[in-house]
Structure formats: structure tokens, C-alpha cells
Structure 1
Amino acid sequence: MHLLTFRTDGDATPRLGARIGTDRLADLTALASAAGVELPGDLLGLVRAGQPALDLTRELLGTHPATRPLAEVALCAPLRPGKIVGVGLNYVEHVEESHRALDTDRELPDRPLLFGKPSTSVTGPGAPIPHNADLTKQLDYECELAVVIGESAFRVSEEDALRHVFGYSIVNDVSARDQRRSGQWFFSKGQDGYAPFGPVVVTADEVPDPQRLDLSLTVNGELRQSSNTRHMLFGVARLIADISSGMTLEPGDVIATGTPSGVGSGMVPPQFLQPGDLVAATVERIGTLTNPVADARREAR
């Protein structure tokens, strides 16, 4: 299933839905109401409700419901996670370009490099990525496979790790490269709007191997990043095992699994995001997450 959150014109309340095909939508909230059954009203609630709610959702979609064009609604971030665990330097070629451009370590990490992004950084498909020139002259993009946790994970083995995955999505790990502070990345990566997320969460049963997914990113139609998740230094199962060795991953938490080479800071000369740019991050089997870059100072006025 390709699950999503949306709003309709004249109704600010988010609704739970499912993408049907490439361009249509089934309203799960309306389906549940018509069937006289209870279903969580949002995707985070559905994740936390566990397997029975997921089975009910499949049953409702199996009734061949009426659909509407996706273009008629506004997509939101699928959910607001309790926490986002980011992974740095998780593709070999990105380690090299980061060392050259950002003076990070040259050596490949021997265990995952982790950082946090707050839930307030989450924004949805089509929402503007804020460019505040008072804070950054080096706004950058990072296309990443996002892992949505479905079952609590603490001290799980690598062999059992994927059983704790609800599904997969896309995160654009937006970064203000010139806001790193003594090597700390939290403010650089955690500002409001720095985690575009979506457009859907694809349930784990539809992604049999998360290490075999093409991913790419364009800026104004120009290809900047192109790789495959098989090139991760630490795969999804290893990441879950490592993170859960000392931190409980809860239902709805998100792991942003790292980005391949091709970021703006690594280009010669560097090519950072500017107001008016359009960024599109694509992951195979999931779709494309598109966001414009907007002048945050103008928006504030």
C-alpha cells in the first residue's frame, strides 16, 4: 500500500488516504466511515495501531473504492515522527566529496555516524524549503531513503531488524552547510522546513529489498544525484540494529539513511540552492518528492 496524508479545499483537517496507481487517491477516512468501522484518522495513528489496523486498511482498499485525482488535493507530510535519526557519510563517494568540500574525515566510518533532526523540521510535498540568507549562504539538498519504524525496536539483531519496519518513504535532508557548529550538525540540519518528507509511505511488503532501490535528485530539472541504495556503507538492517543498541526506536520514528554523492557543496564550483529553485528527489518504488525553494525573509513579511 502507498499511504498518505492529504487535505481538501475548504477543509484544513488532514485525512488518511492511499495512492492508487500513479495519480489517483482513495480516501481511507471516508471508506472506514462508510463501512461502519473504526480506523485511525491519521497515518501516525495507523502505524501505532499495529497489524490489525493495517489488515483492516487492506480490506477497505480491496473493496475497489471510488477514487479521485491526486491533483485535486494537497498532500501533507505523511506523518510527524517522534524523532528523526539522520545518518551521515553513508555512501562511499559522498565520504570522499564531503572530505574535499567540508573537511570531514577522509576515512570511511567503521560504524554509522548519527545525528538528529527535530520533528519541527518536517514539511510536506510542495511545501517551500526556506532560504534565509541571514542564516545561510550554503543551503544544500540530500536525497535519502526514509525508513518508518512500525514496531518498537530496542537491542534488536541485524537479522530481525527489518521486521520492525512499517514502510519506506523519501526525506530531503536539507542542510545549511555554513551552520555547522564545532562539528555539530543539529542546527545545520534541524531548522524548520529542513526535512521535506513524502509523498507517501510504501508499506514494507512492497519493498522486498531496501538495498536495491535507485535514487536520484534534480534541481530545476538538472540531474545532480543518481545512485542506488546498494551502495550504502551500512544497510537498513545494520542501521536499525546499531541505533537500537542504545536508543528505543518507536512506531512512527524515521531513519534518514544517508545520501549519495552529488550534493551542491561537492560540485566544482559549489552550487547551493537559491530562492526560485525546484528540487525533486526520487526513490524507486516510492515516487518523487518535489519542493520549491523560497526566500524565508520575504515569506516572514
Structure 2
Amino acid sequence: MRIVSFECEGANHIGIKVGDEVIDINLVAKDLPQDLLSLLQSNLDIQQELNALIEYASQSAKRLSKDLRFTPLIQRPPKIICIGRNYVAHAVEGGVEPPTYPEIFMRVSESLIGHNEPIIRPKCSDKLDYEGEIAAVIGKKARHVKEQDGLDYIAGYALFNDATIRDYQRKSSQWTIGKNFDGTGAFGPEFVTADELPAGMHGVQLQTRLNGELMQNASTADFIFPMAKLIEILSECMTLLPGDIIITGTPAGVGYVRKPPVFMKPGDVVEVEAKGLGILRNTIKDE
């Protein structure tokens, strides 16, 4: 099952992607939750409900074209939990040993943007870097979960670009400020349910391209902390809730370590791609 979030007549809608078309849930099933967070938080059997909806809508003319104004898949997640240096090669390129415990920081919802929306380079810095990542979306409440059960709590996955203001990231021993500028967290284009993807997204190739040039290219088999382990570690500390987002780390190849450094500038096009999750595409513009 593939779900997109988009704007229609000034309101946020969600739809089911079937081929190149999107079925607007608002048009064919007004009794269902009308945003992804509410859908995840409901007690509905989402898979069953939406499969029935597809069957009904396949006989209906109430469809939209693929030319949509995308919004973040979840506009205000309960939590956005980010994992730093979760690929060995990325830790090494940054000059540190691979961590023995995840480096965890948080994002705020105001930083989120959708697919095809511009990532914003702020007035105060020209050091805007890309970080292609995979996002795991929590589907049910999780606390003190063991690793062997961790994947049971993930509803699905999406792509994320954890665009970072590098000089602000270094202003503090904590990374938070460099990761939370408005309009820097691209999230989309599709939420794909876990049943359509490899377990834990293991062995999936993740790529980032800048203006068509391949910048990051790595397999999630190189995760230091795989998806299920992250659920165990995080749920030891906090209660994970439906709609929480875990941004699982970026591979080697980021711009600031290159010689000379490569930072994104207005007019650039950045794409993040992983098999099964599509392509998350964003342009860059100045604040």
C-alpha cells in the first residue's frame, strides 16, 4: 500500500497511489481518517480498509492525476527521532570511530517539507548539506520492545533528506540547531507499508544525487544499528507512538567532507532514491 499526502483547495488530503494515479480518500471515503497520522492512530485495520477502498475506487471516476502539490507525509508527527552516524563509512569520513550506542537527536515539525517542495537555504549560512536517509514510521505503541519483535511496530517507510546547516551544527556540542532550520527536512514522496518492502529495509541501496551526480550510494546492510535494534534501544527510554518518525541515518558521501566541500545552492536539484520507496526530489532556494 502506498499513501501520499497533498494539498487540495487549501486543505491537506491523503490518497492511495495506484500506478500513476492517486485516489483521494476524501472523495471516496469521507468516513475514514483524512490524514496519515489519524489513520495510523485509529483502531482500523488500515490494510483491509484501504484495500476495500481501492476495489471500490477502481470502478469510480473519482481519481486525481499524479500532478499534485505534495506535503510532508505527516505534517506534525508526535516525535521526529534522528539517528546520527548509522553507517560505518559515514562515521569514518567524519573522523570518528563508529558509535557503540546511537547518536540521537530530534527534529521539529516546522522543519518538514514535502516532495517537490524547495529546501530553504537560510539567510545566515551558505553551508547547506544533503543527507539522504530512510524514515521508519511507527504503527503502534511501543515500550520495552525486544529486538526480535522490533519490526512488528513499524507500519511502513519513506524517504527523507535530513538537510543540514553545517556551520550551525558545529556551533554546539549538540547537533540540534543545525538540523532544525525551517524548510530543511524533506519527507516523502510516499509512505509504503512494510509488507511491500524487505524486512527492516535490509539490503536496500540508498542513493543521493545532486544535479544528477551520484553523491551517496550505500546499502542499508551497512547499518550499525538495524531497524529492529533501533526500536529496542529507543523504546527502552521512551514510549514510541503511532506516527512517530525515526530517521535512520545517512551514508558516506556528504558534501562537507569533500575536497573542496560541496554545499547546495539555489537552483540545485537534490534527489534521494531507494528501491521500493521511489524518488524524493527537491530544489533549493534562498530564504
TM range (shorter): over 0.9
Instruction: Name the counterpart of 2:172.
Output: 182
Q: Deviations over 1:81-138 (max 9, x none)?
A: 1111000011011011112xxxxxx21111111111111111111111111242x231
- Deviations along 1:129-188, one digit per CA (max 9) or x if unpaired, are 111242x23110100000000001111111111111111001100111100233211110
Residue 273 of structure 2 corresponds to which residue in structure 1?
282
CA RMSD, 1 decimal? 1.3
Instruction: Give the 3 Å change call, closer, same or farther, for CA 50–284 of structure 1 in structure 2.
Output: farther
Whether 2:117 is the aligned partner of 1:124: answer no
Matches within 5 A, 1:103-122: 106-122=96-112
- Match of 1:70, SS? coil
Residue among 85, 89, 92 paired with 1:96:
92
Alignment of 1:16-55 (within 5 A): 16-21=14-19, 23-33=20-30, 38-55=31-48
Q: Which amino acid aligns with 1:273?
A: M
Distance of 1:28 and 1:206 partners within structure 2:
21
Q: How many residues align?
A: 281
SS at match of 1:274: coil
Residue by residue over 1:168-209, the C-alpha shift from the partner in whole angstroms, topping out at 9 and shown as x without a partner, is: 001100111100233211110011112110001001111132
Aligned mate of 1:155, from 135, 144, 147 = 144
Residue 262, structure 1, aligned to residue 258, structure 2: no
Residue segments in structure 2 that go unaligned for 5+ positions in a row = none
Q: Does 2:286 correspond to 1:295?
A: yes
- Structure 1 stretches lacking a partner, 5+ long: 100-105, 297-301
Identity, in percent, stands at 37
2:274 matched to 1:271?
A: no
1:51 Cα deviation (Å)? 4.2
TM-score, normalization by structure 2: 0.94
For 1:212 and 1:29, the matched residues in 2 are separated by 36
1:4 aligns with 2:4: yes
| Aligned partner letter, 1:7 | E
Do the aligned partners of 1:149 and 1:251 also contact (CA within 8 Å) in 2?
Answer: yes
Structure 2 counterpart SS, 1:179:
helix
Cα contact 1:50–1:150 (8 A) shared by 2: no
Q: In 2, Cα distance between the equivalents of 1:172 and 1:125?
A: 10
